Amino acid sequence: MNRSTDLLKIRELLQKRRRDILHANMGAHRELSALKNQERDPEYEENAQTELADYTLSSLMEAQRREIMLIDAALRRMDMGVFGECVDCGFEIPLDRLEALPFAIRCEEDATRHELETRGGHAATPSL
Ligand SMILES: [Zn+2]
């Protein structure tokens, strides 16, 4: 198996994921403006539905913005040729880890150590 071919596959997945998020976002915007238009209907007095949609959309968009930032960072690392290298020890991050966590910037060992250092020993979710 050729590692650079696999990295290219991950790159394509990330780019596709990025497009999907942007598309989903545009769809959500359209749905929201459709809901907002209902407000102008005098018989449509209840706007709780719109508020809920606003809330759902903004929290959804927050998560998506974060994911796009992670994707962009991963793509930048690919452009610089350092994608898949651990930022701490410099060794290659195993492909199975990258496939599961394409935004990973550390090998499992360093991610665990980093997690312990930054979160004060909390055994929470593994760090990227
Ligand atoms: Zn490492």
Residues 74, 106, single domain; the answer is no
Mean pLDDT for 99-103 is: 92
CA of 35 to the centre of ligand 1 (A): 49
What would the mean pLDDT of 66-92 be, rounded to a whole number?
95
Residues 1 and 63 in one domain: yes
Is the per-residue pLDDT at 65 higher than 80? yes
Q: 40 and 9, same structural domain?
A: yes
Assess whether 24 and 55 both reside in one domain.
Answer: yes
Q: Does residue 77 share a domain with residue 88? A: no
Distance CA 96, CA 100 (A): 6
Partners of 85 in the β-ladder: 92
Both 69 and 90 in a single domain? no
Q: Are residues 90 and 60 in the same domain?
A: no
Mean pLDDT rounded to a whole number for the chain: 84
How confident is the model at residue 1, as a pLDDT? Answer: 61
pLDDT above 70 (res 69): yes
pLDDT of residue 41: 60
Rounded to the nearest angstrom, the distance between the alpha carbon of 108 and the centre of ligand 1 is: 7
Only one residue has tokens 């929201």, namely 32
Centroid of ligand 1 to alpha carbon of 72 (angstroms): 21
Residues whose beta carbons lie less than 5 angstroms from ion ligand 1 = 86, 88-89, 107, 110
pLDDT tens digits, 37-57: 776 665 555 566 667 777 777
Domain of residue 104, residue span: 84-128
Q: How many domains does the chain have?
A: 2
Claim to verify: residue 77 and residue 88 sit in the same structural domain: no
How many A from CA of 103 to the centre of ligand 1? 14
